[in-house]
Every structure is written in C-alpha cells, then in structure tokens.
Amino acid sequence: MDPLALVLIVAGVSAAFCWITSLITHETSWIDRLWSIVPVIYVWVFTVSALLSGADATRLVVMAVLVTAWGVRLTFNFARKGGYTGMEDYRWAILRGRMTTWQFQLFNLLFIVGFQSALLVLIALPAYIAWQHPAPFTGWDAVFSVLFAAFLVGETAADEQQWRFHQAKKAAGGTLAPGFLTTGLFAYSRHPNFFFEQAQWWAFYALGAVALVADGGSWLNWTIAGPALLTVLFIGSTVFTESISAAKYPAYREYQRTTSMLVPLPRRRGRAPEPA
C-alpha cells in the first residue's frame, strides 16, 4: 500500500473529527490541538514504510526524529498555555463576531478545518519524496538537519521569552508596559517564533529535495507548496493579529515601525517602546 494513501485516510478522519467536534462544542480550535500531532504521524508513516521495505531509510529516520522533536516542543508550549483545556483562539471569536452564523460555519469548514488539514499534509510531503527516492544520506542532509535543529532551538527560546513575559504580566495584574514583549529575540523581530516555525519547514522541504537531487531530480519540486502556503498563512495571520495589537496598545505602531515583522534584523532608527 502506498503510504500516501494511509496519510490521506488519517488526514480525512482528523479533519472530520475537528469539524464535527467544532459543531458540537461551538468552538473551533480543535485543528489547533492536532496541529503539532498529525504531521508527526504522517512523517512516521512514510518512515516506517521505508523501514519495512528494506530501503535505506536513514534520511527518513532523521526527518522523523526532527519532526517529532518539533511536535513535542509545540505540544508542550500549546498545553502550558491552556490549549487542551477548552481555550479557543481569540482570533476566531473576533471573526465570529464579524460574520453571520452561516458565513462563519462556511469559513470554519473550508478554511479552519479544510485548508489547515490539507496544509498539515502538504508540509509533511517532503518525507514522501524521500520515501520515493531512498538515496544515501549526504552532507547536504546533515546541513539541513542542523539548520532545522537550530531553528527549533530559536523557536523554543522565543516561546520561552514570550511565556515568561506573559507570566510576569499576569503577576503584575495584567498591566506591564508597553503591554507586549520588545526585548530578547523580540527586539529583532516582532514574531521570531513565527519566523523560526516557517524556517523549520523550509529546511524540511530541502531534506526531501536532497533525496530527489541525489536521484537525478531537481531541487525544485511540487512539495514546495507546503512551506510556501504555510508562509502565506503565517503572513496573513500575523497581519490580522497585529491589527488587533495595534488597536489595543498605543505603542505598537512605533514597534512596527522600528522592528522587523518576521526575519530577525537590527532595529531600525527610532525609539522602541520601553519595557517595564
């Protein structure tokens, strides 16, 4: 059996689960709760299939270990913020208030559940390319594996800084000037965690591309749709999130003016909002 067929079955079941539970519970963050879990399953499906076939699965094992580390870290961070206790993403509540009931349910089915479920399959498909082309592990594989791990460390650091800030803000009664984090990695990027998240999946795409190149193919292949669409999603989500922050915090406009949105860069000329 082609492992892609099994992946698509799991994806269909998980999407149906998310949609049905969103209708029953009247909250739409079920796909968020599976976000860090199903890509790990998909990559391991391809890896186990390669191992059972007797092919050289070194690259796939490395890819599976890296994605598992990504999934464990993201699941932990989501859990400690209350993501598995019924907390809904605040952005969905805002959108719900701007739409009629039928409009939001259509948005829920097509985008929140449908598009994001498809995207979680797409970002895992470089492992399918690696399964199709079981070439030996190379120096390029090592380079992109180290890059993936470095981006994982960067995202871990950014999320930890953000977690500590929000804990301090909570301890201060919900007010901690200027209201948002501007120090550490956030002095160079307004969303360093978003940058590192996307960068990991571009490195993952490169690992699949290495397998294809080693088998006579091109660095450019159709699975680039995964990281490309993920980047589009993050940019759209970031713009929407920042519109909320700018309306809530007067100093956020200056932060936007002086600090890169995603890619960590030196701060532009201007005075950043003073931290507490």
**41-67 pLDDT tens trace:** 999 999 999 999 998 999 999 999 999
Burial of 173 (0-12, 13-18, 19+ CB in 10 A): exposed
Residue 77 makes CB contacts below 8 A (sequence gap 6+) with 159, 163
Longest CA–CA span in the chain (Å) reads 60
Give the model confidence (pLDDT) of 217-260 as tens digits: 999 999 999 999 999 999 999 999 999 999 999 899 999 999 99
- pLDDT tens sequence across 67-112: 999 999 999 999 999 889 877 777 888 888 888 988 999 999 999 9
Q: Is the pLDDT of residue 276 over 50?
A: no
Share of the chain above pLDDT 90, in %: 79
Residue 30 has pLDDT above 90, yes or no: yes
**How far apart, in whole angstroms, are the C-alpha atoms of residue 203 and residue 30?**
27
Q: What Cα–Cα distance (Å) separates residue 157 from each residue in 59, 138, 154?
A: 27, 29, 5
Q: What is the mean pLDDT of residues 18-35?
A: 93
Whole-angstrom Cα distance, residue 50 to residue 61?
A: 9
| pLDDT number for residue 259 | 96
User: Are the C-beta atoms of residues 50 and 57 closer than 8 Å to each other?
Assistant: yes
According to DSSP, residue 222 is labeled: G
What pLDDT, on a 0 to 100 scale, did the predictor assign at position 272? 52
Mean pLDDT, all residues of the chain:
93
pLDDT of residue 170: 87
Query: Residue 91 has what pLDDT?
Result: 82
Q: What is the mean pLDDT of residues 119-138?
A: 96
